[in-house]
Structure 1
Amino acid sequence: MKGTIVNAAAVFVGSGIGLALKQGIPEKYHNTIMQGMALAVGVIGLQMALKTENILVVILGLAMGAVIGEALNIDHYLNKLGERLSLKLGKQSGGGQSSIGRGFVTASLIYCIGAMSVVGSIQDGLTGDTSTLYAKSLLDGITAIVFASTMGIGVMFSSISVLLYQGLITLLAGFLSAVLSDNVIKEMTATGGILIVGVSILMLELKKIRLANLLPAIPAAAVIAYFWPPM
């Protein structure tokens, strides 16, 4: 869980720096920083996607994952969960959606409900490869500075969400490492890489993508790769 611990620490420290910038970061810097981070995320996704040894497995996995995700309507329920948490935290803090509740929910959703979070945690648990989570830590730390400077201390609390959510995925993946072959791991990584490219597209606001509904593509690709030996 080293990658997850570093990630949570990066969010915590980044938030602390952001809180110190009480006047906030000017909008023009905010936009350019976020665009730069989006481009870096896209490169990370492409590097992972190119690891596939059978693109047909990835394509089928994405198709099956999309069907499953849309049937379960994962994206809708995650958004509803975020709204309910924000309202609940706002009421507990007194009156409406407080900056604490809004900051916590917004940052938690951004840092946890994403392809890099899932794929990186799986990699860490399966192979001990923390490179994706380390890259995510740097990205999250930088964005935490921006978010905390405008949304307050709630962003810092999201580091707890990162620790619990990604830690659980890492532990579960660790239990499965004994039954997953290198071929299966490669195709899972490649499929996750494509989803991470989707994260980049969302960050750049080029296209609205229901990425949460595509998350089942990762286990779907694993199942297909298990029964489809490398070419």
Structure 2
Amino acid sequence: MILGTLINAATVVLASLAGILAGSRLSEGTRNALMNVLGLPVLLIGITMALKTENVLVPTLSVVTGTVLGEFADIEGVLESFGRRVERRLGKGKFSEGFVAATLLYCVGPMAILGPIQEGLTGDISILLAKSMLDGIASIALASALGAGVVFSSLSILVYQGFFALMAVKISGMVTESIINEFTATGGLLIMGIGINLLEIKKLKVGNMLPALIVAPIIVYFLQVFPLSS
């Protein structure tokens, strides 16, 4: 039910401890290279998910409409502003700085929402496994600089992602196979965007695409009620 989230949290704990032990021996260039190369498997996961679609128009319209809504609401700007407010409120002590920085990095993003929902609906933990790899490398880097606060950000992952996973389990009985397939395909496009960002091909505001995950089920429902062909 929350296996992927448990793996994600455990990875952060272990990688953070490794980062504390390693100190600054792992160069920034090596960390950046590892993050870049992980863009390839993330991109592959996104493509695999996107191919689940039964009607390519659904994820296409969902991402386009969702991006328009996300740009209008400036979701990424709101998330960044929220992060700055949290940092100011909790202060700049080393422990709190590490905890806040890691929590925001691991919990504020599409994979932290899409991953647990995907697991709750289908049992598929592939997104959260990819996220665990990314968070693990980031944890080594953060913990080597900011210490034990990064370890405790695993609790934030458990609470935040666990909420979305359990919510998805509750509604899974009301969700049709077509809705799951199109939700998965739309989410795959967002995951592909993350892969493109990691590979530094182009900077995409994936956070502003998040409304697409709400638009996709609405479009599927509309097409079921009002089919385009008789």
TM-score (norm 2): 0.89
1:111 aligns with 2:98: no
> Is the CA contact 2:20–2:140 (under 8 Å) kept in the aligned structure 1?
yes
Match for residue 219 of structure 1?
214
Please give the per-residue CA displacement for 1:78-131, whole angstroms capped at 9, x wherever unaligned. Answer: 1011111112222xxxxxx34434333332232222222222111111122223
Q: Summarize the alignment of residues 63-212 of structure 1 with structure 2, pairs less than 5 Å apart.
A: 63-90=64-91, 97-212=92-207
CA distance in 2, matches of 1:151, 1:225: 46
> Is the CA contact 1:24–1:150 (under 8 Å) kept in the aligned structure 2?
no
> Is the CA contact 2:35–2:137 (under 8 Å) kept in the aligned structure 1?
no
CA distance in 1, matches of 2:216, 2:22: 44
CA distance in 2, matches of 1:69, 1:41: 22
> Is the CA contact 1:87–1:101 (under 8 Å) kept in the aligned structure 2?
no
What's the secondary structure of 1:228's corresponding residue? helix
The letter for the 2-side match of 1:29 is T
Match for residue 50 of structure 1?
51
> Is the CA contact 1:24–1:146 (under 8 Å) kept in the aligned structure 2?
no
**Which of structure 1's runs of 4+ aligned residues deviate more than 4 A?**
none
Unaligned runs of 5+ in 2: none
CA shift in 2, pair 1:227/1:155, >3 Å: same
CA shift in 2, pair 1:165/1:131, >3 Å: same
Please give the per-residue CA displacement for 1:15-56, whole angstroms capped at 9, x wherever unaligned. Answer: 111111123411221121111122221111111112111110
Greater displacement, 100-109 / 114-123: 100-109
> Is the CA contact 2:99–2:150 (under 8 Å) kept in the aligned structure 1?
yes
The letter for the 1-side match of 2:209 is L
Match for residue 37 of structure 1?
38
CA distance in 2, matches of 1:31, 1:163: 26
Using the aligned pairs only, state the percent identity: 45
| Aligned-pair Cα RMSD in Å | 1.9
CA distance in 1, matches of 2:213, 2:162: 18
The letter for the 2-side match of 1:162 is I
> Is the CA contact 1:114–1:199 (under 8 Å) kept in the aligned structure 2?
no
Unaligned runs of 5+ in 1: 91-96
CA shift in 2, pair 1:102/1:199, >3 Å: farther
Quote the offset at 1:57 in angstroms. 0.4
Aligned residues: 225
What's the secondary structure of 1:132's corresponding residue? helix
The letter for the 2-side match of 1:149 is S
Match for residue 18 of structure 2?
17
Quote the offset at 1:147 in angstroms. 2.4
Quote the offset at 1:219 in angstroms. 1.3
TM-score (norm 1): 0.89
Greater displacement, 49-58 / 106-115: 106-115
CA shift in 2, pair 1:100/1:24, >3 Å: farther
The letter for the 2-side match of 1:167 is G
> Is the CA contact 1:125–1:171 (under 8 Å) kept in the aligned structure 2?
yes
